[in-house]
Amino acid sequence: MNRLQAELEVAVRAAREAGQLIKDKIYRHSITETKSCLSDLVTEVDRQAEAGITGLIRRHFPGHAVVGEEQQGNYTGEPGGNITWYIDPLDGTTNFVFGLPFCAVSIAMAEHGIPVLGVIHDPLREETFTAVRGDGARLNGSPINTDKSIATLDQSLLVTGYPGNINNRPRMHRVNYKEVIDRCNNLRALGSAALELAYIASGRLTGFWEVSLKPWDVAAGMVLVKEAGGEVSNLTGQPLLLTENVDIAATNGLIHRELLECLAWREDSPLE
């Protein structure tokens, strides 16, 4: 039994309960609102799922900080302190709103700012990805690993995403998409960073990058990818930090340097 068994059990239970709500409501939700812009969507399901997850964690671990996407700032404890939970109750809200069955619940726990536990639950496929630092990654209890059969970009199936807030979209243009498309096997954009990271961890995808994400988008997936034998960094290859805005690259580990070289990211390059 790993040292975070109690925390993992609570996270899995919370994710599955929130997932049942998503499954019940994907074609029957009634409220869709916007946040930062017209394409940044939120539904009553996001809020109800987050309330349920947050409530369960606080009941079991009242001294822990809890940071959620829909109730930013409404937390107990000090984020970035000893223990902080990061919750995305419905990652892939736009897919959910349009009835595309690709969305998930993402729950992570960090110690001193470093993610050490991650749970990503896909209720529409009944797939629960879990990882605890030092104990490997699993899918429905069975060990998973990144794909170690692909070692070059031209063999790789990559995935990316587009910022929901249109004000962040110019940062995408710092990447030469034509160069990436020409050099990889193919490129996808599936609409859920959490599930995309889980798919890197389970060998279904080879590499992923995205700009201007939030800590709750990536914290659980970071643990999964690393524990599955992959590599995670920022877009310049430095260790990824859970800052307010996150630019991330994650791969099977074998193509990481080549992907970063292809992206050719420069933080100080002009925005278009």
Is residue 65 a contact partner of residue 85, using CB atoms and an 8 Å limit?
A: yes
Q: Which residues of 68-103 are buried (b: 16+ CB within 10 A; e: fewer)?
A: bbbeeeebebebeeebbbbbbbbbbbbbbbeeeebb
Is there a binding annotation on residue 135?
A: no
- Got the DSSP string for 138-170? EETTEEE----S--SGGG-EEEE---SSGGGGG
Place of tokens 């994400």: 213
Is residue 122 part of an annotated ligand binding site? no
Amino acid at 51: A
217 is in an annotated binding site: yes
DSSP string, 174-223: GS-HHHHHHHSSEEE--S-HHHHHHHHHTTS-SEEEEEEE-HHHHHHHHH
Q: How far apart are CA 224 and CA 33, in angstroms?
A: 31
Closest listed residue to residue 84, CA positions, set 216, 180, 212: 216
126 is in an annotated binding site: no
**Ligand-binding site membership of 268 (annotated):** no
Kind of pairing between the strands at 41-43 and 65-68: unpaired
Q: Are strands 83-91 and 65-68 parallel, antiparallel or unpaired?
A: parallel
Q: Which residues are annotated as a binding site?
A: 69, 88, 90-91, 217
Q: Which residues are annotated as a binding site for Mg(2+)?
A: 69, 88, 90-91, 217
